[in-house]
A and B are shown apart, each in its own frame.
Chain A
Amino acid sequence: MNDGDHKAADVTVRWPEVGVAALLLLIAGLVIADSLRVGIGWADDGPRSGYFPFYIGLMLAGTSAWTLVGQLLRWRRTTAVFADRGQLAMVLAVLWPMVLYVGLIAGLGIYAASAMLITYFMRRHGRYGWAPTAGVALGVPLFFFLVFERWFLVPLPKGPLERLLGF
């Protein structure tokens, strides 16, 4: 591996490692706290509800604390790369539209939101013209509409557009 003078554009695993371990520690805390609330001992009819999760929480806390402390102790020696900034930018360029997409499903229904997501990707990442973009962006939701609403009779989230069209 390289000896510390890695490129400035690289993000090391330090902060992500600490963040994930801390998150797990937090979850472990929630599990332990609620197990204590519902009881970790025995009732007349057997172990209480917190009996099993309590130890799960303890083990989760122990192992994530191990990772967290281990990372903090090795802070300066850590050179492993999480990703470089360009890669992270790419990941975020996909993640935000995804978050927005899920938000839009709730408001506009899944078909309209999907058409918008596909349009965004094809225009922004694929640099396609409007004609092929429109073909895919309209064709794919239409296909899923037929498969789910018509053939399998599984209703998917619909919005104002579908209501306008009478579904």
Chain B
Amino acid sequence: MEELSNLGHGFAVALTLPNLGFMLIGIVLGVLIGVLPGLGGANGVAILLPLTFSMNPTSAIIMLSCIYWGALFGGAITSILFNIPGEPWSVATTFDGFPMAQQGRAAQALTAAFTSSFVGALFAVLLITFLAPILARFALKFGPAEFFAVQLLTFCSFVGMSKEPPAKIIAAMMLGFALAAVGMDSVTGQLRMTYGVTELLKGFDFLIAVIGLFGIGEILLTMEEGLAFKGKSAKISPKVVLQTWKELPRHWKTFLRSTAIGCWMGITPGGATPASFMSYGMARRFAKDPQAFGKGEIQGVVAPETAAHAAGTAALLPMLTLGIPGSPTAAVLLGGLLIWGLQPGPMLFIEQKDFVWGLIASMYLGNIVGLLVVLTTVPWWAAILRIPFAVIAPVIIVICAIGAYTVHSSMFDVVMMLVFGVLGYLFKKLKYPLAPLVLALVLGDMAEASFRQAMLLSQGSLAIFWSNALVGSITALALLMLAWPLASHLRQMLRAREPGGVEQLR
């Protein structure tokens, strides 16, 4: 087993004292980010990215990915204790987590949430360990046409799998591609869409977009609610942890199902949020007593948390092997890799073995460290949440501004952050999805380059996307995904035409 020896080597890389230290810092920062409104995995990593430019890439990615694990763990705390989802993927956790806290079972709910997060992540990392090298070897055969087809599949699956109106998904995506195209064309050196503004020469940086869209946008959204934190306090005693652990294996079916949903949604860029909802729905459908859900059923906590964490972790699989991130946070990590001069994709597994396997090993360790950290420190995080929003909000705005400025040391970026913030608020309110925008902004140059290379090979004929079985089937799958909402829309229209049909609600 080559993977196991590689993994062993990876552990040797990750288990050095400084790297363990970075892991711990990352987890703690991540939980903090996950707990605070307005800061999340994506913009948290984006803000901290510039600080890691001087570190060695392996340590840096270990720390940044641990921030991501921490944020995934942290979202559960606010959902259960305060009924406020710190992250979109923990919305489903509030359904049963908060009722449990109200009934005085907060400790059980938290233990269940953290443990299921851990289990979900563990399975996803196992999947990455054994599947990633195979996928990378397979992807080595890819030419530009195949790469573009995979990217097409990524973007089409957004349309096929999200609940937002398809026109808005595509519009958000195209806005991302358009913004990515601004500045110098990397192939011909031609300037485009700058309209004479010198600040636009280097284009729109996705880090700024992420900080604005998710950070400032989230603050504006939170402000709307006026926000009164009325939380339950929680103390986790070892006894409750052990009791809950004894109870959890009974729900092994929920674990398995949720992990499968999570891994699938993470690899295809459905993302952690739909995965958590889908998994919650499935758990309720298959439960012996569906009526108990929503009233403090422990499975209602297990299912979404397992799926969200599995999806969040599995999102790194396509990022590492194909250079296509499965979630906005994975997209930011990908951007980090590019800045450190590492080209994600199949070659990474050959040229940067230390880096890849160190990262994979750190996923195992990071999740173990994360589980221990959150189980022992919950009361402190709950205390942080009691700091009123009037204090937290300006501090988060300051952090976002600093984060935006440090990317290029440019004031223009801070202004753009604000613009993206307002855009993020409007998009959220009008149900434009943000993830495709960010992914398109990150992948825009790559997608364009592979498309143009493919066109060069075929002298401008789109037939190249059907030129062999591999690229043909990927393209066909992509188009199927794209047509999916159209088909269901047609079905709905036909039904609505019938007399007395369902009036269309929106």
Contact = CB atoms under 8 A, between A and B. Distances in A.
Interface of A: 1, 13, 16-17, 19-21, 24, 27-28, 30-31, 34-35, 38, 42-43, 45-53, 56-57, 59-60, 63-64, 66-67, 70, 74, 78, 80, 82-83, 87-88, 90-91, 93-95, 98-99, 101-102, 105-106, 110, 114, 117-118, 120-122, 125-128, 136, 140-141, 144, 148, 152, 154-157
Closest 5 CB pairs of A and B: A126-B390, A60-B174, A49-B190, A121-B394, A125-B390
Nearest to B447: A52
A90 B226 contact: yes
A156 B402 contact: yes
Contacts of B425: 91
Given A20-B426, A83-B429, A102-B418, A1 B505 contact: yes
Contact of A59 (B170, B187, B391): B170
B391 A157 contact: no
| Chain B interface size range | 35 or more
B393 A121 contact: yes
A57 B170 CA distance: 11
Name the prevailing secondary structure of the B interface residues: helix
Name the prevailing secondary structure of the A interface residues: helix
B430 A49 contact: no
A113 to B, nearest CB: 8
B409 interface: yes
B368 interface: no
Interface in B415-452: 415, 417-418, 421-422, 425-427, 429-430, 432, 448, 451-452
Nearest to B178: A31
A51 B192 CA distance: 11
B50 interface: yes
Contacts of B193: 30-31, 34-35, 53
B165 to A, nearest CB: 7
A27 B178 contact: yes
Given A20-B426, A102-B401, A110-B401, A140 B395 contact: yes
A63 B167 contact: yes
A59 B175 CA distance: 10
15 contacts: A16-B426, A30-B193, A42-B460, A53-B177, A56-B177, A56-B178, A95-B220, A98-B397, A98-B418, A105-B411, A121-B390, A121-B394, A141-B398, A154-B50, A157-B411
Contacts of A105: 401, 405, 411, 414
B181 interface: yes
A30 B393 contact: no
A114 B417 CA distance: 16
A82 B397 CA distance: 24
Contacts of A50: 192
Contacts of A52: 181, 448, 451-452
